[in-house]
């Protein structure tokens, strides 16, 4: 009976037969969607000399945009890491009225167009907005400055953390928590030594996804940032501005820098995740 479900060489039958065919389709699709566009981006940059490339990617406005983009993205990802974990914890561990509604609202930034999100945040936080008008007398300005950039990036990055941590919390073994409590562990000790090591890789993954998403965000930021040069101008806006000025080589040069930095950061985060999984495997 088992032999009828085995292929040649006594190998288990696969749902999609033909490894070489499926691999060829996969590589072709990946090349068309990802590799060829990125290669064109790099090749366009080769039209610049080394001095021209360095001048294009290290100008004062470009450097200021790097600091704002990566700094605001990192800060937003940290905030989402904390509050995304809390939100996932509440959705998994507690039952309350409106829980399904709150759970559905977490995915709203996925479905909402980024331009609509930017306009909504601006209408809410501007000096004459629903919330901003009450903060203005206290000297608190959340729109048309770097604060607005961080808030917009928090909005679009929150679902990545929640949806990364939530399934891991649902699958976590509560018996281990109960055993730790029976052995005299406090709530903080149970969380830090039993729960957190289990969810840490998922939390780090959510942080990485939120950070990477924030780096390339454009639509929700330009409406609330104010786009003031050297103050609240993000790097994607620099790229768009160069394209509008027909400086295609300069735009691709800045884009290549963003691509390389983002790729390196993702490699570092993946290495940290692999190290943490090894640590957990050694502990067990």
User: Which backbone phi and psi does 12 adopt, to 5 degrees?
Assistant: -60, 140
Shared domain check, 33 and 148? no
The set of residues, in sequence order, having a beta carbon less than 8 Å from that of 112 and lying 6+ positions away, is none
Q: Which domain holds residue 11?
A: 1-45
Q: For residue range 8-46, list pLDDT tens digits in order.
A: 555 555 665 566 777 777 888 887 887 888 787 788 888
Shared domain check, 78 and 27? no
What pLDDT was estimated at residue 28? 84
Whose tokens are 């509050």? That residue is: 83
Q: How many domains does the chain have?
A: 2
Shared domain check, 40 and 55? no
Cα separation, 92 vs 49, whole angstroms = 55
Shared domain check, 272 and 157? yes
What pLDDT was estimated at residue 88? 92
Shared domain check, 185 and 61? yes
**CATH number of the domain within which 95 lies:** 1.10.3720.10
Shared domain check, 124 and 34? no
Residues of the chain with pLDDT under 50: 1-7
Residues constituting the chain: 284
The set of residues, in sequence order, having a beta carbon less than 8 Å from that of 258 and lying 6+ positions away, is 215, 216, 235, 239
Shared domain check, 120 and 28? no
Shared domain check, 141 and 86? yes
What pLDDT was estimated at residue 281? 62
What separation, in Å, do the N-terminal and C-terminal C-alpha atoms of the chain show?
Answer: 39
Shared domain check, 148 and 248? yes
Cα separation, 51 vs 140, whole angstroms = 43
Shared domain check, 240 and 107? yes
What pLDDT was estimated at residue 265? 76
Shared domain check, 128 and 24? no
Shared domain check, 110 and 23? no
């Amino acid at each position: 009976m088992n032999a009828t479900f085995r292929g040649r060489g006594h190998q288990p039958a696969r749902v999609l037969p033909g490894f070489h065919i499926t691999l060829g389709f996969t590589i072709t699709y990946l090349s068309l969607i990802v590799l060829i566009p990125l290669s064109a981006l790099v090749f366009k940059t080769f039209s610049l000399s080394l001095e021209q490339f360095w001048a294009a990617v290290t100008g004062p406005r470009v450097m200021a945009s790097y600091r704002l983009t990566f700094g605001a993205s990192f800060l937003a990802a940290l905030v989402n890491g904390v509050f995304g974990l809390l939100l996932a914890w509440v959705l998994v561990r507690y039952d309350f009225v409106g829980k399904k509604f709150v759970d559905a609202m977490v995915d709203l930034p996925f479905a909402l167009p980024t331009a609509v999100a930017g306009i909504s945040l601006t209408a809410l936080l501007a000096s004459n907005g629903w919330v901003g008008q009450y903060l203005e007398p206290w000297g608190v300005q959340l729109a048309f400055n770097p604060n607005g950039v961080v808030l917009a990036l928090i909005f679009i990055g929150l679902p990545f953390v929640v949806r990364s941590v939530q399934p891991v919390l649902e699958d976590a073994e509560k018996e281990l928590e109960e055993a730790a409590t029976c052995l005299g562990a406090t709530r903080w000790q149970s969380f830090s030594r039993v729960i957190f090591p289990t969810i840490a890789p998922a939390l780090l993954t959510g942080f990485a996804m939120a950070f990477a998403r924030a780096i390339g965000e454009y639509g929700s930021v330009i409406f609330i940032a104010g786009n003031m040069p050297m103050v609240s101008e993000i790097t994607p806006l620099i790229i768009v501005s160069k394209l509008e000025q027909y400086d295609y080589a300069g735009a691709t040069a800045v884009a290549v820098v963003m691509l390389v930095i983002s790729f390196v950061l993702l490699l570092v985060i993946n290495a940290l995740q692999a190290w943490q999984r090894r640590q957990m495997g050694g502990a067990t």
